[in-house]
Structure 1
Amino acid sequence: MAQFSVNPLRFDPYKNFKFRVRWDGRYVAGVSKVGALKRTTEVVEHREGGDPSSSRKSPGRSKYEAITLERGVTHDVEFERWANKVWNFGAGLGAETSLSDFRKDIIIELYNEAGQLAKAWKVFRCWVSELQALPELDANANAIAIETLKLENEGWERDLDVVEPAEPSFNEPQ
């Protein structure tokens, strides 16, 4: 059965600048950039002995690329706290890694221009493989200090419970 759009008149694609990231049931403050969600499936080539000299192709393993989150440096410690669950320097022998909760599921939400939730993705079993706590500092620059978190993950799926919103109209009543 075909699923019809709530807003069949929308032809414009969604913009990439209205989004939020959530983990542990809370929105993460100040995230200004989220890397692409990318899945690659390996190609398995095979050929039977009686086939002509061309190969057949079938899907193999799928891999999910790491996702990078960026935000301006603030006093919020969520990036560092999560990264320290994978490796906490100085925690003592046998206590450097938190095996019980170093993985988290995250949610990436995309909003339309009116600020309504339009699409969302669930990213599964993420863990921090890289933390850049402070960028290169430059006294001659005019820029924001950005911290970066690189999240390995084991897959993602679109949240199908999020449906296209009916966009508001600003027409005057008749």
Structure 2
Amino acid sequence: IKWDGKYVAGVSKISSLKRTTEVVKHREGGDASSSRKSPGRTEYDAITLERGITHDDAFEQWASKVWLQGAGLGKEVTLKDFRKDLIIEMYNESGQLAISYKVYRCWVSEYQAFPDLDSNANAVAIQQIKLEHEGWERDTGTNEPTEQSS
């Protein structure tokens, strides 16, 4: 995962990239027995990023651009640069870039600094952000990696 041109430390889980286009049914004149279907509005599902808690504050800094507690009355929200383009890169077993997606105009709608804490559980503390966005596309400039000979 990259934003602002930098890789974000420790991201271990990303939800799927999914878009759904509404189906609009209509009838054409003179054809009362069946309906036609056309594409309507396209919606993009939010993306969730998870990572173990680290000292890297990238999640918190971005979430604070939407709401900053303690900033003073009327200054809690700073909409300057709160939207970012995101790059999701996937690498093969050889460490070569295999596929890449660009996600546009993302912003943090939900931020979880840490999960429920239970001293009796054997679990990793996970940090999470939920990103709303305005669409994505595959980076066609990323070519299929060549096989490396052994």
Q: TM-score normalized by structure 2?
A: 0.97
* Residue in structure 2 matching 1:108, options 75, 88, 93: 88
1:95 aligns with 2:80: no
Correspondence for 1:32: 12
Q: Which stretches in structure 1 are left out of the alignment for 5+ residues?
A: 1-20
1:144 aligns with 2:124: yes
Q: 1:49 Cα deviation (Å)?
A: 4.5
Q: 1:94 Cα deviation (Å)?
A: 2.4
Q: Quick one: which amino acid aligns to residue 43 of structure 1?
A: V
Q: Answer 1 or 2: which has greater strand percent.
A: 2
Q: Helix, strand or coil for the counterpart of 1:88?
A: coil
CA–CA separation in structure 2 for the residues paired with 1:49 and 1:166:
54
Q: Helix, strand or coil for the counterpart of 1:48?
A: coil
Q: Quick one: which amino acid aligns to residue 49 of structure 2?
A: L
Computed over aligned residues only, the root mean square deviation of the Cα atoms, in angstroms, reads: 0.9
1:48 aligns with 2:28: yes
CA–CA separation in structure 2 for the residues paired with 1:93 and 1:140:
40
| Identical amino acids, percent of aligned pairs | 70
CA–CA separation in structure 2 for the residues paired with 1:115 and 1:31:
16
CA–CA separation in structure 1 for the residues paired with 2:88 and 2:28:
44
Q: 1:76 Cα deviation (Å)?
A: 1.1
Q: Helix, strand or coil for the counterpart of 1:106?
A: strand
Q: Which stretches in structure 2 are left out of the alignment for 5+ residues?
A: none
Q: Helix, strand or coil for the counterpart of 1:86?
A: coil
CA–CA separation in structure 2 for the residues paired with 1:25 and 1:72:
22
* Residue in structure 2 matching 1:120, options 81, 100, 108: 100
Count of residues in correspondence between the two structures = 150
